[in-house]
Amino acid sequence: MKIYLLLVWLLAAGWCAQAQSPSLTTFILVRHAEKATNHPTDPDLSEKGRERALRLAELLASTSLEAVYSTPFLRSWQTAEPVALVKQLPVLRYEPFKDEVIEAMIKKHQGKTILLVGHSNTTPWTANLLLGKKELADFAESEYGTVLMVTVAEKGKVASLVTLRY
């Protein structure tokens, strides 16, 4: 319960900062939830992963989101889908590891909050790109449930970075 209250407080603080400077964009970055072993390259979520995806949707239910993005893999899409359903938004696909894709998101969603669901390597990579420096290492293969919230005016000009667990 404390983590939920902290997240609400931090998101409210981010909204206040955005109200003062409408050009700030907040990226909520998460790795896909736990994956099953039903396919060698594109598995579904496991039962535990589906439960975590529902918790993410519950966690972000009161957060104002303009867009929900996922990499093209099934496990990422299945993690993003419950959030998108709650928010009545489509799950948009994005290509990871492309500076220009993230820069286009900053411009397109300027002053808003968006969710990106990626992988153990793409999520820290995106955060590092937004930060303008390599601060975060790839997540361990067993690491799920980390939420990175990065608020930026533009790539490399960070207003805040917050790391939470859900």
Phi, psi torsion values for 78, nearest 5 degrees: -70, -25
Phi, psi torsion values for 27, nearest 5 degrees: -105, 125
User: In sequence order, what are the beta bridge partners of 10?
Assistant: none
Res. 160 pLDDT band, cuts 50 70 90? confident
For the domain spanning 2-165, the CATH number is: 3.40.50.1240
Per-residue pLDDT reduced to its tens digit, 37-92:
999 999 999 999 999 999 999 999 999 999 999 999 999 999 999 999 999 999 99
Tokens of 83: 């959030």
Q: Which position has the higher pLDDT, 156 or 99?
A: 99
* Structural domain boundaries in the chain: 2-165
Res. 28 pLDDT band, cuts 50 70 90? very high
In this structure, are residues 5 and 116 in contact, taking their beta carbons and an 8 Å threshold? no
Is 10's pLDDT higher than 70?
no
